[in-house]
Amino acid sequence: MHRPTGRRLQALLMAGLFALSATLAKQAAAGSLLFCEQSSQQSVARKSDLLLFSQQVRQLLDASGHQAAIISRSGLDLERFHIRLSHAGISLRNNPNSPWSVRQLYYACEEQRPHLYDQGLPGFLIDQPQGSNVYLSILLLPAKQEEQLVAAALDNKLSLQLLGADYSANAYPFSTRYQNCNQWLVELLAHAWGQLPHEGDGRRQAQDWLQQQGYRPDTVDVKHRYMVWAANVVPLVHNGDHPDSELAANRYQVSLPAAIEGFVRQQAAGAERIQVCLRGKTLVTHQGWDDMADDCQPAAGDTVQQLG
């Protein structure tokens, strides 16, 4: 067998590098802070159960007497990072789209840019992996904070002013370079509760206020250096807005529903939390700030009912 020439050796090395890059990118995309959520393949029975689930959630919201709720759901498989809830928005009783539609930042994969989107509860809840448990968390606010949030959420000019031009699933919360879905929500909360001026750089004002108020984003420890490196080849994940010290430690500071809920609990004394999960056809409702069991098993005091 002949030894490869210098040029051929270089070509072989490049081919190997591209193959390695593709493998690492695939591994990172499979378990990282995913971005373009792909519609899962679901059976007719599964879709029917999720529609019934959304009806139960709407009944719960109707009975609450509130005008809005901060609502967070599962959807992406982020268990390897110990993350249950991945996406949050504001559910509004009087949303112009339909009652309790969720106003949220949504990344349009086809157009490759973020939008503000009012989505009905069935659509918000239905994109769940086949066979997985579905988790939902609902925050109900005291009257003053709720009124301020409703006004801000329905202020289209303000909502669009806070919409970043460039999306990144792992956006750093204290940089305006990128934005993810949950970051738009927490910046809207800052304007609503901080009564910030509408003039100037709205996103920078919001982030400054959040820092002053002690907002603590989630820390996502990706553990392996290749996961940080893969941000160079995986779409919609970036490193450029993160501090070098965080990247060197193989971790990202990111706005996720858990951080938003912790901040709401800190800022809005008396806020209530309701968690709902669906396991098969069993619906479990849990009141309180302690987390539900990972396997959707009911605890003492939980409400259990069967769908259908």
Encode pLDDT of 44-75 as tens digits: 888 899 999 999 999 999 999 999 999 999 87
What contacts 24+ positions apart, CB below 8 Å, involve 225-232?
Answer: 225/250, 226/24, 226/27, 226/28, 227/28, 227/32, 229/24, 230/24, 230/25, 230/27, 230/28, 230/29, 230/32, 231/28, 231/170
Task: State residue 9's pLDDT score.
Answer: 40
Task: State residue 290's pLDDT score.
Answer: 95
Residue corresponding to tokens 């029975």: 45
- Gyration radius from the chain CA atoms: 21
As averages over each run of 10 residues, the pLDDT of the chain (308 residues) reads: 46 38 40 48 84 96 98 78 87 97 91 92 83 92 98 97 95 97 97 95 98 96 78 84 93 95 97 96 96 90 92
Name the token pair of 262: 């912790």
Q: How far out from the chain centre does Cα 124 lie? A: 12
pTM of the model: 0.86
Using alpha carbons, select from 244, 272, 236 the residue that is nearest to residue 109: 236
